[in-house]
Chains A and B, each alone.
Chain A
Amino acid sequence: MYALIALILLLSAIWFGLSFANRLVAPIRRMIHATDQVSSGNFYVQVPIKRSEGDLAHLGETFNKMTAELRRQHDGLVTASGVIDRRRRFTETVLSGVSSGVLSLDSEGHITIINRSAETLLGTGGRLLGKPIVEIAPELASFVAEALHGRMRQSSGQVVISRGGQDRMVNVRATREGENLGAGLVVTLDDITDLVSAQRTAAWADVARRIAHEIKNPLTPIQLSAERIKRRFGKVIVEGKDVFDQCTDTIVRQVEDIRRMVDEFSSFARMPKPSLQREDIVETVRQVVFLWRVGNPETTIEEQLPHDVVPARFDRRLISQALTNVIKNATEAIEAVPAEERDGQGRIDVRFERREDGRIVIDVTDTGKGLPQEQRQKLLEPYMTTREGGTGLGLAIVGKILEDHGGGIELLDRPDGARGARIRLWFPETGPVQEAEGGGEGAGHGSPDSGRDNKNRTSL
């Protein structure tokens, strides 16, 4: 009897003990389960709090606070990372769109970032990232060294960068990023070639205008004097009449030459705005070649023109003048070839092409003495001539005419590598971008001296 009661008591004691233990362990087990979930990335898990559990309840609250904090920080990091990403993309877009070349160099002078404009300016092809700047662009070495090691942390100046036969004048600025010696550099490159050239052209145009005016004045009295001498004494001279005639004729002829040169200078300085009409450009080219052939039967000139009409917006007189100038140049280049080196008569080819992008391209190729390899672009500047007796204005005038039409001129070598040159004239068939309106800009390129011209016009 007592054994049974003892057994029941024992069993109930065990049962109570187990359930008590269970109740003690349950919250801990719940917390373990929750911890597993957090460790696998779920930050939203919370542990239920039962007041009755005392210390364990406190532990549960703390646990919940911890996970909430973890969640907050995690979300914060994700947002920040998104912001950084967007900012980086923005910076990349800005850098790729900006016309200046931008480079970032580390403290050893290796390229860490380089934008497209810088690649174009410095590029020799191939990957530039990671290469030392002194290898890619030795012209920048002194600026880099000064910015990296100098006291001022900055170095700027102008330098000429030659790539692929072209010389570009570049404004360089190198800035060290921070105070410490381990900091890298940011280098910006601005191509100011066109600005410098335009400035020079504008300055020369002014000078040309003034000199032209001054020179023309004494020409009239000189010519009149010579003519008067001829009239007055030409009939009465008996002895030495041939000397007399020769001298007076020389005076008159030379004065004519000077006057012609001065007129050419004037027309450069006072270059008229194109009066644009819609015309057949092929017909214009054909006429120029025809007239040249008629006037210069000793040169061989061939043209390759399409049979159909190609309409375009241009000034017929100016384009004819430009093309005639270029053909004249070609002829003179051929004549400049010394007789021993000449094989045959010399030949000029005029080729016409209307490109898909609407560009009109006219190539004049000759078998003359060719173009210089170095500093070729200088030929387009006024007063630059490699020819004896040349005024040096021909190509500058041609360049300006084409620019006023929204196009340009290119000085190329013959594609077949033989001696000679190819001058390429091009402009868009729609004409220059902006309409000239009585004194405004005449071309998309915006000739900087055209504004000046209109203010300072004096008739000559």
Chain B
Amino acid sequence: MSADILVVDDEVDIRDLVAGLLEDEGYRTRKAGSADEALAAIAARRPNLVFLDIWLQGSRLDGLQVLELIKESHPDLRW
């Protein structure tokens, strides 16, 4: 399986761990540390799955706002 999963969390440890766990299971992963990075990564290539931290401290938008934006631009995405 070469699915592409995007992991979004403001804390690097959690990002690395979640991505690492998924890679151990054989998935490909990308990481984003803020709302803007996440939106850019989604725009560059649409992932199969997004792990989205709800808080995203220190980011321009919080997780819930990012979710709203993603839903608007990709209405066919399940969430």
Interface of B is mostly: helix
Tell me the nearest residue of chain B to A223, going by C-beta: B17
Report the minimal beta-carbon distance from B64 to chain A, rounded to whole angstroms. 12
| Complex CA distance for A231 and B18, rounded to whole angstroms | 13
A228 interfacial by beta-carbon distance below 8 Å: yes
Produce 1/0 per residue, A209-236, CB < 8 A to B: 0000000010011001101100110000
Interface pair A232/B24, CB less than 8 Å apart: yes
Contact of B14 among A220, A227, A231, A232 (CB under 8 A): A220
| Distance between A362 CB and nearest chain B CB, rounded to angstroms | 41
State which of A217, A220, A227 has its C-beta within 8 Å of the C-beta of B21.
A227
CA distance A217 to B13 in the complex (A): 11
Closest Cβ of chain B to A306, distance in Å, is 49
B20 at the interface (CB under 8 A from A): yes
Query: Cα distance A217–B14 when bound, in Å?
Result: 10
Q: Within the complex, what minimum Cβ distance (angstroms) separates A458 from chain B? A: 11
Interface size on B, residues (CB 8 A): 8
| Closest CB in chain A relative to B62 CB, distance in Å | 12
Q: Which residue of chain B is the closest to A232 with respect to CB atoms?
A: B24
Q: Is B11 an interface residue (CB 8 A)?
A: yes
Q: Report A215-259 residues with CB < 8 Å from chain B CB.
A: 217, 220-221, 224-225, 227-228, 231-232
* Chain B contacts with A in 1-58, Cβ cutoff 8 A: 11, 13-14, 17-18, 20-21, 24
Q: Which residues of the other chain, A, contact B21 by a CB distance below 8 angstroms?
A: 224, 227-228, 231
| Chain B residue at minimal CB-CB distance from A224 | B17
Q: Are A225 and B17 in contact (CB under 8 A)?
A: yes
Q: Which residues in B have their C-beta under 8 angstroms from that of A225?
A: 13, 17
Does B13 lie within 8 Å of A231, measured CB to CB? Answer: no
Chain B residues whose CB sits within 8 angstroms of the CB of A224 once the complex forms: 14, 17-18, 21
Expressed in whole angstroms, the minimum distance between the Cβ of A427 and any Cβ of chain B is: 38
**A221 B24 Cβ-Cβ under 8 A:** no
Are B24 and A231 in contact, CB atoms less than 8 angstroms apart? yes
| A224-B21 Cα distance, complex, nearest whole Å | 8
Partner of B24, one of A217, A220, A228: A228
A227 to B21, CA, bound (A): 9
Name the A residues within 8 Å of B17 (CB-CB). 221, 224-225, 228
* A221 & B20 in contact (Cβ 8 Å cutoff): no
Chain B residues with Cβ under 8 A from A221's Cβ?
A: 11, 13-14, 17
What is the chain B residue whose CB lies nearest that of A226? B17
> How far apart are the CA atoms of A227 and B17 in the complex, in Å?
10
| Chain A contacts for B13, CB-based, 8 A | 221, 225
A84 to chain B, nearest CB (A): 73
Query: How far, in angstroms, from A228 to B11 measured CA to CA in the complex?
Result: 17
When C-beta atoms are compared, the residue in chain B nearest to A231 turns out to be: B24
Find residues 189-203 in chain A having any chain B CB closer than 8 Å to their own CB.
none
The answer to whether A228 touches B20, judged by C-beta atoms less than 8 angstroms apart, is yes
How far is the CB of A456 from the nearest CB of chain B, in Å?
Answer: 17
B21 nearest in chain A by CB position: A228
Given contacts A221-B11, A224-B18, 18 further A-B contacts (CB under 8 A): A217-B11, A220-B14, A221-B13, A221-B14, A221-B17, A224-B14, A224-B17, A224-B21, A225-B13, A225-B17, A227-B21, A228-B17, A228-B20, A228-B21, A228-B24, A231-B21, A231-B24, A232-B24
**20 A-B residue contacts at CB 8 Å?**
A217-B11, A220-B14, A221-B11, A221-B13, A221-B14, A221-B17, A224-B14, A224-B17, A224-B18, A224-B21, A225-B13, A225-B17, A227-B21, A228-B17, A228-B20, A228-B21, A228-B24, A231-B21, A231-B24, A232-B24
The 6 tightest CB contacts between A and B, nearest first, are: A221-B13, A224-B17, A228-B21, A232-B24, A221-B14, A228-B20
